[in-house]
Amino acid sequence: TCGEKPAPKKDTMPKVEARSLGGLKIAYYSNDSIKANFDFFVKEEGIIKRKQKVFESEVGRRTKAYEAFITKKDAEARGGLLSQNEIAQVQQRAQEMQNQIMQYQQSEGAKIEEQAMKSLEAVNKKIEAMGKKYCEKHHIDILLMHGDGGQINFIHQNMDVTTEFVNFLNENQAQIEKELN
């Protein structure tokens, strides 16, 4: 309303004392680049995607078989070719087919999801271990991971070692695969 003064602006200056880091070396890598360029990660993700496609294809095949069965039997029933007893058997068989599709989706879908989680966990553990080796080799005190939903809001691009770290991971891929199998 008229005459009201705008609220005074609050102080946004952080109350954090600046400290000398004494040569502390900090770097980061982009998690999205690891997913896109670390050969082992790409390979593992490809395996899961292929299994997912096979799974989806099998669900589609079973669903089409179910639909074809229903269509055929419905046409036979409309043509008066099925007795009441046969119609009951068709309904029972249709229910069995539907249940089998649902069971397959649940069991196989869970297997693929579990395998994907185990694979991702193993890859992440290796990235962490290789990150330690990378830091020791290049005298980096802190190696941060940057990505969507991460804990780093901002870090200067001069500290970005993504390309170099991905190259290091790819150079050590044989060792990583050997340790995971």
pTM: 0.72
pLDDT at 16 over 70: no
Least confident of 98-112, 119-133, 143-157: 143-157
Q: What tens digit of pLDDT does each residue of 150-170 get?
A: 788 788 888 899 999 999 999
**Partner residues linked to 160 by β-bridges:** 28
Residue 63's pLDDT is 97
Amino acid (one-letter) located at 9? K
Does residue 14 have a pLDDT over 80?
Answer: no
The overall average pLDDT reported for the chain is 88
Tell me which of 61 and 17 has the higher pLDDT: 61
More confident site: 153 or 117: 117
Instruction: Residue 143: name the closest of 31, 33, 22, 42 by CA.
Output: 31
Signed CA dihedral, 113, 147, 159, 12: sign only: negative
Predicted local confidence at residue 133, as pLDDT: 93
Contact present, 112 and 51 (Cβ < 8 Å): yes
What are the phi and psi torsion angles at 38 (to 5°)?
A: -80, 110
Q: What is the DSSP track for 129-171?
A: HHHHHHHHHHT-SEEEEE-TT-S-S---GGGB-HHHHHHHHHH
Which tokens is 78 given?
Answer: 């409309």
